[in-house]
Every structure is written in C-alpha cells, then in structure tokens.
C-alpha cells in the first residue's frame, strides 16, 4: 500500500503501522492483487477549541458497553 500526500510518499511494510493525518488531501494505492484491511481511528486534536469539541460531541453518540472486567466506550 502506498500513501501520497503533499510532498510525502509512504510505503507500508508488513508488520508495520502507518499513522497519518487524513484531513490533508491524500491518495492511497494498493498496487498488489491482495485485499487490504484498514483500521481508522479518529483522534481529537489537542488544539481544538471548546466550541469545536462541543460541535464534535453533538455529532457523535457514545454508549457504554459493559465487559465482565471493565467498561469500554464504543462509538455508535
């Protein structure tokens, strides 16, 4: 898998992790004949204002899911 954005080109290596900010224009290519599985994790930027955080939280519903050992927050 190849990710390009701006002046950067990153090639994924098996067993490695790629983390990037997808708010910037980018393209992703899978030049192989194999399927790829993508795990997307949304992170809250530390420089977000209170107003931005409130707007974000108004769009997302969080529900607590009980586990026998712990509580987990799950995006629904």
Q: Which of 74, 57, 55 is nearest to 66 (CA)?
A: 74
Q: Which of 9, 43, 7 is nearest to 23 (CA)?
A: 43
Q: Give the pLDDT score at 49.
A: 93
The 10s digit of each residue's pLDDT in 10-49 is 888 888 888 888 888 889 888 889 888 888 877 788 898 9
Q: How far apart are the first and last CA of the chain?
A: 29
Residue 76 pLDDT greater than 60, yes or no? no
Task: Please name every residue paired with 74 in a beta bridge, in sequence order, or none if there are none.
Answer: 63
Give the CA count within 13 Å in the CB-facing half-sphere of 7.
0
Q: Give the pLDDT score at 7.
A: 87
């Amino acid at each position: 898998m190849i990710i390009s954005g701006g002046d950067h080109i990153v090639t994924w290596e098996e067993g490695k992790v790629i983390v990037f900010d997808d708010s910037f224009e980018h393209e992703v290519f899978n030049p192989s004949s194999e399927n790829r599985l993508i795990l997307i994790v949304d992170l809250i930027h530390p420089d977000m204002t209170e107003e931005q955080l409130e707007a974000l939280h108004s769009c997302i519903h969080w529900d607590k899911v009980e586990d026998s050992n712990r509580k987990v927050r799950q995006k629904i």
